[in-house]
Amino acid sequence: MGILMILFTLIGGLTLSTQSAINGTFSRKAGTIETTLLTFLTGTMFLAILILFWGQGNLSAIVEVPNWQLSAVFLGVLFVLFIVIAVPKIGVIATNITVITGQLAIGMIIDHFGWFNSLVIPLDTSRLFAMVFMALAIYFIYKGNVRSNKEAKQFVESPS
């Protein structure tokens, strides 16, 4: 089961990067907010069909959960909106490595304090070093993107 979950997560990462690239391109034509809306409308329709045929939960329990738990839906919308904004400006890899770094940073804080009923895993120096390396990765990837973009523009503009 563990290997299957790793495989599912890997496929999720592949689909996220692909979706980011496609949505970034799509947003240039349709608009950022419009692209985000279409993403969520399509997702809503798809999930409604899944719930209709295979749903086993209690959809009416949505109104029974604490309000702070409902904030997750807005966080998901902000996530997709920010991705759609970022990809056309800094590229897919810079966007995704920054997303991963943000996920790791908040994950470490959540684990350290045990927020949202998570395991308590204290913040230690190895985790802090990991964040430093992630920040360096963002820096080098972003700088490489800027350099490559300048070189590509020079190549296109130079007469042959």
Q: What is the pLDDT of residues 1-19, one digit of tens each?
A: 789 998 988 898 899 889 9
Query: What are φ and ψ of residue 65, in 5° steps?
Result: -80, 155
- Cα 52 to Cα 44, 48, 56, 65, 135: the distances in Å are 12, 6, 9, 22, 43
Q: What is the pLDDT of residues 130-160, one digit of tens each?
A: 999 999 999 999 999 888 878 777 777 765 5
pTM of the model: 0.78
Q: What is the pLDDT of residues 86-122, one digit of tens each?
A: 999 999 999 999 999 999 999 999 999 999 988 999 9
pLDDT (0 to 100) of residue 26: 93
- Cα 18 to Cα 97, 100, 155: the distances in Å are 14, 15, 27
The residues spanned by each domain of the chain are 2-157
pLDDT (0 to 100) of residue 160: 57
Structure tokens that stand for 60 in this block: 């009416």
pLDDT (0 to 100) of residue 159: 59
Burial 50-60 (b: 16+ CB within 10 A, else e): eeeeeeeeeee
pLDDT (0 to 100) of residue 153: 75
The secondary structure of residue 62, as a DSSP letter, is: G
The secondary structure of residue 64, as a DSSP letter, is: G
Q: What is the pLDDT of residues 19-77, one digit of tens each?
A: 999 999 999 999 999 999 999 999 999 999 999 999 988 888 888 989 888 888 899 89
